[in-house]
């Protein structure tokens, strides 16, 4: 009978060990957590960007204002709205930044593909976002000069007509 109990304990330990190891692997899997956060951030950004979210915020603020006289416009009454808005703002900054970074990356990939696909395009421009400020400033000067020369040619062509 003791052998049977020990055998069950070994099985339970192995099962428990496997479950714990799976959770540890999942916790260490940054791709999994990044995907989860990305889904969460996109969902909340969509939700909070709708008129309904704005209307809910207005109702909360109006409720807070209406309850002011009930609480005698106390410090606690003021602290509630200050704390709530600070927390919401703090969290929304991260969600907005994440969605902005994602949108910027997607837009950059699309632009890179357009540059790559157009024959005669300057492929050196594909990774501008990775360049240092000085390099960007130099390229900007070159393209400003190209635009100026192009405008002058156009003006000269019109005056020749």
Sign of the alpha-carbon dihedral angle for 26, 29, 32, 35: positive
Sign of the alpha-carbon dihedral angle for 118, 124, 125, 130: positive
Phi, psi of 93 (to 5 degrees): -55, -45
Is the pLDDT confidence value at 87 over 70?
yes
Distance CA 117, CA 125 (A): 13
Q: Which percentage of the chain shows pLDDT scores above 90? A: 43
Give pLDDT tens digits for 7-66. Answer: 555 556 677 778 778 888 877 888 888 889 999 998 998 999 999 999 999 999 999 999
Distance CA 114, CA 143 (A): 18
> pTM value?
0.61
User: What mean pLDDT value characterizes the chain?
Assistant: 86
């Amino acid at each position: 009978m003791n052998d049977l109990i020990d055998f069950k304990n070994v099985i339970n330990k192995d099962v428990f060990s496997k479950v714990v190891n799976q959770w540890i692997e999942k916790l260490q899997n940054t791709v999994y957590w990044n995907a989860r956060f990305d889904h969460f951030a996109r969902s909340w950004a969509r939700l909070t960007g709708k008129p309904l979210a704005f209307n809910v915020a207005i109702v909360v603020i109006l409720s807070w204002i209406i309850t002011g006289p009930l609480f005698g416009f106390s410090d606690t009454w003021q602290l509630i709205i200050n704390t709530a808005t600070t927390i919401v703002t703090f969290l929304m900054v991260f969600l907005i930044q994440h969605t902005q970074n994602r949108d910027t990356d997607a837009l950059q990939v699309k632009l890179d593909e357009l540059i790559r696909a157009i024959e005669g395009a300057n492929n050196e421009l594909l990774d501008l976002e990775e360049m240092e400020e000085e390099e960007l400033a130099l390229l900007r000067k070159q393209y400003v000069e190209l635009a100026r020369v192009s405008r002058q040619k156009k003006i000269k062509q019109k005056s020749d007509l």
